[in-house]
Structure 1
Amino acid sequence: MQLSYRSLRLRLLVPILATAMLAALLVSAASYFLGNRWADEQLRDRFTGIQKTIADSRFPLNGRVLDLLAELTRTELIAFDENEKIRYSTVGMGSEQEQVVEARKTSGAKQISLAIDMTNGDAEKKYRLLTFSTVGGASRPDRVASIAVLFDEAHFEATRRRASVLALATGLSTIFALSSITLFLTSRLVGRIRKLQRRVEKVADGDFTSTVSDHIGDEIGQLGQAVDSMAGQLDTLWKRIHSQHREKLLHKIASGMAHQLRNSLTGARMAVELHAADCNSSDDEGIRVAIRQIELSEDYVRRLLLAQSGKQDKDRPARVMICFEDIRMSLSPIVQHLRVEMDWHIGDSVEDVVISDGPSWTAAVTNLIDNAIHASREVSVLLEKIEGDPTTGAVPLLRVVVSDRGPGIDQSIAAELFEPFVTSKPEGMGLGLSVVHRTAERFGGQVRFRRKGERTIFELDVPIVDEAGEKTE
């Protein structure tokens, strides 16, 4: 079931605003209730003050005096005699006189609310009526026995309304500020999440190079870093899978080529040997080189067939000088043909150096030099011994440095230069440097390249072993 889309802004903003609005309404209602209580207390205080002023007064409570007192106290006053007859009033009662008299009789000292129709034609108004008795009412000259005090209900309603409206206005302004801040923060949050979503979609489509982390140390920032880490791991895994596919393809190609080359090389060697016997030229250097090249090619084919069958050829320790001389002899015809200026350097202490597998090292170094002489007319080869360091555990190494003045490595393939089938040559298969890399890994060494000035430099390091093939300390 597909869920309907709801923006995160709404899912965060609506509950917050609803809660804030409910809180504002509750506070407003509570303020209205408290305002009502304050109005009642204010009414009692005013009534008590009026009662203390008028109840035992010695001045006559006639119409003129009541008008002045009503204006001062902002009330309406009605004076009654001992027979409950109205003697003086600050409001014209008209037909409502009986209602006021009845209300005064039933209310006693309690407050009541009643509606009185003003005789001056104004709209109906509500009052609260409280009464008290005067001191010596029957014997007073004005014969006023009790006073009814009418408080305008509109004043108390305004007090309650002001209290609630103030609370509601405060709540609404708080809601507005809260909603603005929340909308701003959620917009930023949603923007970061959408960026993360687009990044994940790119990862799902196979793009593992771009990054999404905004380097903010919160949960979304950590999630972005986790996505970047996942993309990096997927990139490594993807490259490994491609490498494995290329290796499988390489095995298949090697198998097919090896079977064809084995027959061709066997025939070529027999033909060269027969020609040498017929021409009685066994001492001819060119024939020796040709036979040696055929022998090396036969050895390569044998190794390819072993690799294709899942087997590994046994290591054959060899002295490095013998292997190095074989390389020079085998490459000399190509060097002469291409008119390459070669500069061979052999360092000290390499005469007795032994490497764990002579044929593999010879093939790797031959590939490095062959690439250089096809890229430049000036090539330098250095063979030297790197002493070990017992304090750091570094073992002695045999280093081959091949440099040339060629155009260098294309930056588009520099990161994958040692992978199979990676090459910038239109006619190349991209297998030479992958063989060098695999040889270095097999020896426990490494191969690397760099560009220094106008020269491209490759370095191959392999550990030095003893006569039995064990690494030396």
Structure 2
Amino acid sequence: MENPGPSGCNRRSIERSQTSIKRCLAKKTLSDPAPLRSLRFRLLGPLIAVALIAAIIVALASYRLGDRWAMDDLQERFVGIKNTLADSTFPLNATVLDSLAELTQTDLVTTGKTGRVKYSTLDGLDAAPQEGEMTIDEKRYLVYFFDTQRGKIRADDVARVAVVFDERTLSASRRRAAILPLATGLSTILALSSITLFMQSRLVGRISKLQRRVRGIAAGEFACTDTDHAPDELGRLGADVDEMAGQLDQLWKRVNRQQSEKLLHQIAGGMAHQLRNSLTGARMAVELHAAQCDSPDKESLPVAIHQIELAEDYVRRLLLVASGRQDEDRPTDVTVCWNDVRSSLSPIARHLHLDVEWHLDESFDSTPQSDASHRIGDGPTWVAAVTNLVHNAMQAGDVVEVRLERPTDKSVCVRVRDNGPGIDKNVADELFEPFVTSKPEGMGLGLSVVRRAAEHLNGDVAWHRDDGWTVFDFTASLMDNDNS
């Protein structure tokens, strides 16, 4: 049965993890809160309640104050009428009382010495009123009395005068005193509530958006599509959430890579033993054939043997990685490594009918140098990385240029150019990460190995597009003479 490979297993593992997370979130997702439990009500309710209570208290206080003002005004009016009529010498007949009642907005009742009513402007009054409150035809009145100073000698025989105030006038004064602050308070509450509701709706909307963002992060959706970056507390919280999502995205990818690498190590340990035995048998067969072959053209046989030896070396390194160990560095001259790469890939290029141009900088000689300034810290690692880059270029385009340069005295740079279509945009940002590839049959390990080789050799690897060409620059440090 065909092995699905580490990347297939890893993808299925990731999909299962994301599916389980989404199911868990679906169970824990709460429905929209009840109106009384919503944030709008919790913020707006207390504000309206406090404002309404304050308006009612102010209205009651105004009502009480208005009642006091009305009573004070009534007393002032009564004192004014008393001071005017108590010492008066003009007769208090019906005509005079009607005029005074209309002028003072009151009703007047005069009584004689015997207490009988002599004149009255109040209809329905049968007997002399008593001081205080009285009701006539379901209408309430307040009655105040004062004695005339000339009661015994007055021609009209008026001894006492009753000033009658309508209770409805007092009630109207009280209502006027209470309605104005109450109306002002209610209108203020309405205006403040409308503005507060609008602001809270925007605030709750931003919080809901942030909640959806956090829920998406919990479901594994780390990419940001709609972010609130307003210059306030929620904006700063949204920025922190985005930063957290970015860190989680990196950690998630790192975990996936570690899982894939762990699986690769497990598979590599089993495959390497079988490959080593097969390669050993193939090399022995080729060597036996080379010894028995009488053909004058034997160039392909040494190349085949060399390729098998390289494969055996790769398998040996793979076994070391699977066992958790690392091979010792083998310093090698740059030109030796260069010739090794060229001799191994040139026959492949001829077989594929590709035009591969090899350019060696003039600062390098065609023969190895004895000093360490021309040596790479680990020759096999450099050869494997450059071979990978050139092989990828041969697969991408039909014209390939490989150039070995020396940008500084302490480093070498291999520039590989091809006229292929270039790198897929979907993988361009993570090109050197493990298991990232645009090839259907690829595993995405080649360029990650190249980057690790560059780091191991204290160098760097980068790529760019240059006028229709894809360019890879692989830089490695040279050894110092002190390290020879």
Question: Normalized against structure 2, the TM-score is what?
Answer: 0.87
Aligned counterpart for 1:114 among listed residues 121, 134, 143: 134
For 2:12, the equivalent position in structure 1 comes to: none
For 1:252, the equivalent position in structure 2 comes to: 266
For 1:19, the equivalent position in structure 2 comes to: 50
Q: Does 1:155 align with 2:135?
A: no
Q: CA–CA distance in 2 between the matches of 1:452 and 1:313? A: 37
Contact 1:401 1:458 in 2 (8 A): yes
Aligned counterpart for 1:237 among listed residues 237, 240, 251: 251
For 1:392, the equivalent position in structure 2 comes to: none
What one-letter code is carried by the residue in structure 2 that aligns with 1:141?
A
Deviation by residue 1:107-141 (Cα, 9 ceiling, x = unmatched):
xxxxx3322x2xxxxx4211111222222221222
For 1:71, the equivalent position in structure 2 comes to: 102
What one-letter code is carried by the residue in structure 2 that aligns with 1:63?
A
Supply the RMSD in Å over aligned alpha carbons: 2.3
Change (3 A) 1:250 1:334: same
Change (3 A) 1:136 1:94: closer
Which stretches in structure 2 are left out of the alignment for 5+ residues?
1-27, 366-372
Q: CA–CA distance in 2 between the matches of 1:225 and 1:81? A: 93
Q: CA–CA distance in 2 between the matches of 1:268 and 1:341? A: 29
For 2:389, the equivalent position in structure 1 comes to: 368
For 1:50, the equivalent position in structure 2 comes to: 81
Contact 2:86 2:146 in 1 (8 A): yes
Shift of 1:306: 0.6
Change (3 A) 1:283 1:336: closer
What one-letter code is carried by the residue in structure 2 that aligns with 1:248?
K
Contact 1:212 1:224 in 2 (8 A): no
Shift of 1:286: 2.5
Q: Does 1:261 align with 2:275?
A: yes
For 1:460, the equivalent position in structure 2 comes to: 474
Which structure 2 residues correspond to residues 416-435 of structure 1 after superposition, within 5 A? 416-435=430-449
Shift of 1:455: 0.8
For 1:146, the equivalent position in structure 2 comes to: 160
Contact 1:199 1:211 in 2 (8 A): no
Shift of 1:189: 1.7
Could you tell me the percent identity over the aligned residues? 56
Question: Normalized against structure 1, the TM-score is what?
Answer: 0.88
Q: CA–CA distance in 2 between the matches of 1:428 and 1:224? A: 39
> Number of paired residues?
446
Q: CA–CA distance in 2 between the matches of 1:130 and 1:312? A: 117
Shift of 1:15: 1.9
For 1:442, the equivalent position in structure 2 comes to: 456
Q: CA–CA distance in 1 between the matches of 2:233 and 2:440? A: 49
Aligned counterpart for 2:319 among listed residues 305, 311, 332: 305
Contact 1:21 1:171 in 2 (8 A): yes
What one-letter code is carried by the residue in structure 2 that aligns with 1:288?
P
What one-letter code is carried by the residue in structure 2 that aligns with 1:385?
R
For 2:427, the equivalent position in structure 1 comes to: 413
Q: Name whichever of 155-164 and 208-217 sits farther off.
A: 208-217
Q: CA–CA distance in 1 between the matches of 2:412 and 2:162? A: 121
SS across alignment from 1:415: coil
Aligned counterpart for 2:111 among listed residues 58, 62, 80: 80
Q: CA–CA distance in 1 between the matches of 2:209 and 2:272? A: 52
Q: CA–CA distance in 1 between the matches of 2:292 and 2:125? A: 158
Q: CA–CA distance in 2 between the matches of 1:135 and 1:270? A: 153
Change (3 A) 1:468 1:259: farther
What one-letter code is carried by the residue in structure 2 that aligns with 1:424?
S
Shift of 1:467: 4.7
What one-letter code is carried by the residue in structure 1 that aligns with 2:141?
Y
Change (3 A) 1:429 1:124: closer
Shift of 1:262: 0.9
Q: CA–CA distance in 2 between the matches of 1:363 and 1:381? A: 15
Deviation by residue 1:397-446 (Cα, 9 ceiling, x = unmatched):
32211110011111222233223333222333322212112212222322
What one-letter code is carried by the residue in structure 2 that aligns with 1:416?
E
Deviation by residue 1:129-156 (Cα, 9 ceiling, x = unmatched):
1222222221222222222111111111
Shift of 1:82: 3.3
For 2:149, the equivalent position in structure 1 comes to: 135
Which structure 2 residues correspond to residues 203-222 of structure 1 after superposition, within 5 A? 203-222=217-236
Shift of 1:468: 5.6
Shift of 1:85: 3.0
Change (3 A) 1:143 1:366: same
Contact 1:82 1:144 in 2 (8 A): yes
SS across alignment from 1:400: strand
SS across alignment from 1:416: coil
Contact 1:379 1:405 in 2 (8 A): yes
Contact 1:443 1:463 in 2 (8 A): yes
Contact 2:257 2:435 in 1 (8 A): no
Contact 1:449 1:456 in 2 (8 A): yes
Q: Name whichever of 70-79 and 1-10 sits farther off.
A: 1-10
SS across alignment from 1:113: strand
For 1:391, the equivalent position in structure 2 comes to: none
What one-letter code is carried by the residue in structure 2 that aligns with 1:90?
T
Q: CA–CA distance in 1 between the matches of 2:165 and 2:458? A: 105
